[in-house]
Each structure stands twice: as structure tokens, then as C-alpha cells.
Chains A and B, each alone.
Chain A
Amino acid sequence: MNVLNIRNVTKTFGDFAAVDNMSLSVREGEIFGFLGANGAGKSTTIHMVSSLLKATKGEIEVLGKNIAKHPRFAKSNIGIVPQDLAIYEQLTAYENVQFFAGLYGLRGSLLKERTEEALEFVGLGDKAKSFPKSFSGGMKRRLNIACAIAHRPKLIIMDEPTVGIDPHSRNYILQSVLKLNEMGCTIIYTSHYMEEVEEICTRIAIVDHGKIIAEGTKEQLKSIVTDTKEIWIGVRSESNISVEKLKNVPGVVSVRIEDGQIKLQSKAEVNNLNEVIQQLIQDNADIRSVEEQAPNLESVFLTLTGRNLRD
């Protein structure tokens, strides 16, 4: 059964089409990755699914019901974890979760039980009476999640839930997503971090200029990339390296430098490794490793959109 069906949906703002005739289905029990650069149409799609925006054209169904006709039903079954923190600093962690859960009609002992359960789930059970101003960024993110899950939604939409937090909290959140999925929740997950999407998502859609340009499992998407290869070159010093000169090497599609690694995408049929290394030697780069990477989501995204996800 599909938890979400998006059929030929368009959303325009004046002449600008933020979402352009998009169709998409999310099946029950999936962790669905929604990838796209800034302005690709992800947030607009999410806001239409959560009834915050009305589609200009097309139809959206949540659990088989059209959200335009049954907005209350759709909203009751969706939990949103917004990209920005949406919590009250003046309320305690418990009061925050209690308030947002109460908006879904929970009251009395059930509300208390679900509030405590949500806080325990995100590891803030012992911080229930604390105010968010005393929390770290990661704890606030976890509270942001607790506020979205206390009413036990069937579909949880997480928009960049790990932005700007420490690795420990990020790992905690990723494990929480997997656990929620095991508990029966369907999850739509957007992130700028490809490795997160690769780690937890069962199916992925790549959106660009308001359209789905690829959709499938990780393996299906990676199989799209047959004409490019990715080479990672480890260097001790990256200060003298000229990215422009590397880009001018025949066959090189893109170059980026991250954490002492030169990550280079090149056309698969061009054998240009010698020229690349020669260029690096000219730039006095102290090479310590060279390895060819198997295709990953980053290279898939780059191949399909011509740019990096974080551009």
C-alpha cells in the first residue's frame, strides 16, 4: 500500500514553477530519501504534502485520501520534523512535546504517556523539566523530533534533521529514524548528507528544478552512472593545488577538495590519471594515496544534475 501518492502536482509562485508536474509514490514501511539542491522543490513538495501549501495543479493522497478533501485526516497522520527548530524556548521539554501532541487531540493520561514515551525515545527523558535554552544543538534537534512523533503519525517527514549537530547526536538521530521505521512508521527523509541517505534510505528520489529526475533503490540509482568514474587522491598539502588547472585536464568533469582528499570525477572512457598526477606534482602536492571509488549517490547526483548536492 502507498502511504503517499503525488500525481502530476505543480506549484507555481507567479511565473516560477517550484514544483513542475511531479509524480511520486512512497510505500508503507519505506525510508524514502528525497534529494535535491537548495531551491530544487523539496521543501515546497513537503509543505504541499503537509497541507501548508495548496498545489496549483494535481492531486496528493495520504493513506489513500485526497488531502484537499480530507486535510484533517492527512494532517493527523503526518508528523513533520522541520529543518529549522520549531520549539518554544519558554516551555520545558515536556511542555513542548505535550503542547504539540495536544494539537492532535491527545489529552489526559494518554497525552502524558505519549509525551513521556517521545522524550524517552529521543533520549531526553531525564531532561523533561529542563528548558531548551540549556540544551546543546543536538538535544534541541532531538526535542524537535520528539514534538513530531508523540502523536504516533504513520508518515514522518524529516527535513534535514541533522543540520549543524555533532557526530554523536547525528548518529543518535539516524538510529532513531531506523527504530521509528522498525516500529512501523514510513519516513520521508531529506538531507544534504549523501552518506546519511545512503545509510538509511531504502528508496531515493532525486529532484531538480521541481521535477523528479531519478527514482529507485541505491543500487538502481548507482547503475545509472556508467560513463563516469570517481578518483580520490590523498595529499599532505592542499594549499598550492590549482582546482582550475585540474578541471582543464581532458576528461575531468568536476574537482572538489575535502579533508585532504582531492575528489575528482572524470569520464570513464578517458585514461587521464597520469596527467592528473603530473599536474599535482607541478603544484608541489605531496601525494600519499590514489584510489578509484565505486559509484555513489554523490556521483549519481553530479551526473544527473551537473552539480554537487551542497553547491
Chain B
Amino acid sequence: MWKDWLWLVRKNLALILRDKKSGFLHVGLPLAGVLLSMLIYGSANSGTLHIGIVNEDKGSKVAEDAVQYLAQLQKVKVTVLENDEMRTEIENGSIDSGIVFPSGFSEKLKNGEAPSADIVSIQGAQVTAYVSSMLNNYLGNVAAIAKTSEGDSARFDRLYEEFTGSGYAVNVESLQDISGKKDITYQAIGFLLLFMLTSSFSLTEIMQKERQDRTFLRMMSSPVSSRTYVFSNVAVNAIVLIVQIVLTLVFMKFVLGIDSGVPFGQLAGILFLFSLAAIGLSLLIVSLSTSNAASGALSTLIITPTCLLSGCFFPMDIMPDAVRRISTFLPQHWLLDSLGKLQSGDAGSGLMLNLAILVAFAAAFALIAAYRLSRKDNTRQYV
């Protein structure tokens, strides 16, 4: 029994390794998926803010100092521009936002009027908020000096000199922003799920092809049982999917340096549970089909739409409620949800329930497929 099983596994692996397309399908596409997710999310959080500054209040020390203040901020790069240049640079994306210190800016500030630097951006508050906050803080201090000076220019200059000359110790700690890495991981795993399902179906389809080219009939006329035959296919399927998972995760972590936020073993473990569901689903598709064409059409109808609905291509946050509810009937949803839980450090009962649901999906698919396949063997489909 085990010898027969190993013999069939060996043959299937030989067939897969000989097929040049299979290398592309089982390994190339998942790696391409990781690269694609890098492209989509990789540039979203580069970290450095490019600001263009137009200083129309030329010769004013306060305006000059404000520019210097912004230039020494961490993660901010300042370029001094003319007004026309700034609009062009913003439009072509060379800078994220622009600040204009209008003529008479420092005089107004000295007279106790509210600071009025204009901040221009087409990317919205998420880009301008940080600079605006820091600049307002700085200008607020200058305005306070002006108020204390009560219109006495000499007093203002003295106090201002003390303010700019005095140093105070600030310890700066940079916290790592891992949301971008999480997004890349989520997207990469989403693509991987699609390719795992596609690979699994392609490997299970070997059984369908063997029925059609009659090699199945020849095998079944030998002492090998149909159960051994199906288990050998499942084993080969699992081997290929494990290789696919490991290669993809290694590529992500060690080649591209993407830290998923989840230990390698845990991530590989939950993906292996998903691979069981994928194998069960592909067995079910093949068991429900009478030909290669039928199983191909059925897989297309099932795999891509379910991946779409369960958030493999887009984050679930942007999906409508109805789609979110539908996604709970799909194994991909529970894998992605488990990934989210692991990334946020929630390894409690919620995660266990998710994993149990994944196993239940695999068992349900496999049981229905086993029933269907046993019925198939009692008919003349291969005669």
C-alpha cells in the first residue's frame, strides 16, 4: 500500500518537474504576486516629506528662521522655490506640499497678529497635518514673544534672540511604522491564496486528465486501489503547496526584507491549513466535473470570484457590508482574518476558532469529493 503510494507520488512529481509551465504556475506566479504587492504598497510609506517653501518676506529674520526650523525637522526635506515653481512641483508630484511665507509675514507676527503662512497640497490633510502642526507650534511661540513685547521692537528682538539661541534638550525616539509592511504582507498573502488554489486545482486536474487519456484505467487494472491513487495525488498536491508556501515566505522575508509581523513558522502553519482547504476544494471541483473543460470552467467560476469576495485582492475595509458577510462563507476570509489576528498579537481563542473553521472547510470539501469520486468509480465514466 505505502509502496504503491510512494510509486504514484514519484511518478506525479516527475510529471510536474518535467512540465516547464508548472514551475511558472507553482513558483513564479506567487513570487510575482509578492513583487506586485511590493509595488502597490511599497511606496505608500517612504517616510520623507518633501516640502517646497516660497519666502516672499525676503530679508526677514523670522521667516528665514522658520524655514531653517522646518529644514531641521526629521523626515522632512525642504526646497526653497519661487511661487510658479512650487505649483508646478506640486502638480508633477516632486513635492508633497508647499508653504508660502507672504510679504510682511514677520511684521504681522511682531504686531501680535495670527501667523498666516499658507500651506498648499493636493494630497490632503494626511500630508499637511504634520508640517502644519510643527510650524504652528513654532510660530505660536514667536507670537507669544510678540505679545509679551507689547509692540516694543527692541524687546521683541532681544526676547526672540534668546528664544532662538536657547537650546532645550529634547530626546527624539522614532517609532517604526509597520502598517505599510502589514499591507504588503496582507496583499502578498492574498495573491498567494489565489495561486495556491490555482496550483492545487491544476494538480488535482491531473486525475481528470488521466481519466481522459486512459492511464487511470490502466492504473486501476493494476493492484493499486483507487483510494491509494487519490491519496497519492493529495500528497503531491500538499508537497507542491508546502514548497510554494515556503519559497514565497522566504522570498518575502529574506530576499525582499518584508517583515510580516508574524513568526515564519506560524505564518507557514496557517497557510498549510489553508492548503488543506484548497486541496479539498480542488478535489470537489474535479469530482463534480465530467471533463477537463468542465472542471476548468468550474474552477474559473469558483476560484477568482471567491478570492475577490474574501479580500485577496483588496483590503476588506473597503468592501461593503454585504460582501463582508458573504466572505465569512469562504476559507480565504478565515485565513486572512487569522493573519490579521496574528499580526495584532491576538493568538487567543479567536485565532483557534479561525483555524478550526479552516480545518472544517477542508474536511467538508474532502468528504463531499470522496462521496462524489466513489460514485464516479461505480459508473462507466472511464469505460
Tell me the A residues contacting B by CB distance below 8 Å: 13, 43-44, 47, 50-54, 71-72, 75-76, 78, 80, 82, 84-88, 90-91, 95, 99-100, 102-105, 107, 147-148
Q: Which 5 A-B pairs have the closest CB atoms?
A: A103-B222, A86-B214, A86-B218, A50-B221, A80-B221
Q: Are B217's CB and A75's CB within 8 A?
A: no
Of B14-22, B52-60, B95-103, B151-159, the one touching chain A: B14-22
CB neighbours of A148 from chain B (8 A): 218
**Contacting residue for A86 out of B7, B14, B15, B217, CB 8 A:** B217
Q: Which residue of A lies closest to B17 (CB)?
A: A90
Residue B75, interface by CB 8 Å: no
Given the complex of chains A and B, what is the CA–CA distance between A102 and B3 in angstroms?
A: 9
Query: A80 and B218 in contact (CB under 8 A), knowing A53-B380, A90-B18, A99-B11?
Result: yes
Q: Which of B213-241 contact A (CB under 8 A)?
A: 213-215, 217-224
Q: Are A86's CB and B215's CB within 8 A?
A: yes
Q: Are B214's CB and A82's CB within 8 A?
A: yes
Query: A91 and B222 in contact (CB under 8 A), knowing A13-B380, A82-B214?
Result: no
Q: Which of A75, A80, A86 has the most CB of B within 10 A?
A: A86
CB neighbours of B222 from chain A (8 A): 75, 100, 103-104
Given the complex of chains A and B, what is the CA–CA distance between A13 and B222 in angstroms?
A: 24
Tally of chain B residues near chain A (CB < 8 A)? 24
**Contacting residue for B215 out of A13, A47, A54, A88, CB 8 A:** A88
Tell me the B residues contacting A by CB distance below 8 Å: 3-4, 7, 11, 14-15, 18-19, 213-215, 217-224, 378-380, 382-383
Q: Which residue of A lies closest to B379 (CB)?
A: A13
Query: A105 and B3 in contact (CB under 8 A), knowing A82-B214, A86-B214, A90-B15?
Result: yes
Query: A52 and B220 in contact (CB under 8 A), knowing A47-B383, A87-B215, A90-B15?
Result: yes
Q: Which residue of A lies closest to B228 (CB)?
A: A103
CB distance from A19 to the nearest CB of B (A): 12
Q: Are B19's CB and A90's CB within 8 A?
A: yes
* Total contacts A-B at CB 8 Å: 69
Q: Which residue of A lies closest to B213 (CB)?
A: A86
Q: Are B15's CB and A88's CB within 8 A?
A: yes
Query: A91 and B15 in contact (CB under 8 A), knowing A44-B383, A47-B383?
Result: yes
Q: Are A103's CB and B19's CB within 8 A?
A: no
Query: A103 and B213 in contact (CB under 8 A), knowing A50-B221, A72-B223, A75-B221?
Result: no
Q: Are A102's CB and B7's CB within 8 A?
A: yes
CB distance from A142 to the nearest CB of B (A): 15
**Contacting residue for A105 out of B19, B217, B223, B378, CB 8 A:** B223
Q: Are B382's CB and A103's CB within 8 A?
A: no
Given the complex of chains A and B, what is the CA–CA distance between A90 and B18 in angstroms?
A: 7
Q: Are A51's CB and B215's CB within 8 A?
A: no
Q: Which of A50, A52, A75 has the most CB of B within 10 A?
A: A52
Q: What would be 20 A-B contacts, judged by CB atoms less than 8 Å apart?
A: A44-B380, A50-B221, A51-B221, A52-B383, A54-B378, A80-B218, A80-B221, A82-B214, A85-B214, A88-B15, A90-B19, A91-B14, A91-B18, A95-B14, A100-B219, A102-B7, A103-B4, A103-B7, A104-B223, A105-B223
Query: A103 and B214 in contact (CB under 8 A), knowing A53-B380, A90-B18?
Result: no
CB neighbours of A76 from chain B (8 A): 223
**Contacting residue for A84 out of B7, B214, B220, B378, CB 8 A:** B214
Query: A147 and B218 in contact (CB under 8 A), knowing A53-B383, A72-B223?
Result: yes
CB distance from B1 to the nearest CB of A (A): 10
CB neighbours of A13 from chain B (8 A): 379-380
Q: Are B219's CB and A103's CB within 8 A?
A: yes
Given contacts A52-B220, A90-B19, A99-B11, 12 further A-B contacts (CB under 8 A): A52-B221, A52-B382, A54-B378, A76-B223, A78-B221, A82-B217, A87-B215, A88-B213, A88-B215, A91-B18, A99-B7, A104-B222
CB neighbours of B213 from chain A (8 A): 85-86, 88
Q: Are A103's CB and B224's CB within 8 A?
A: yes
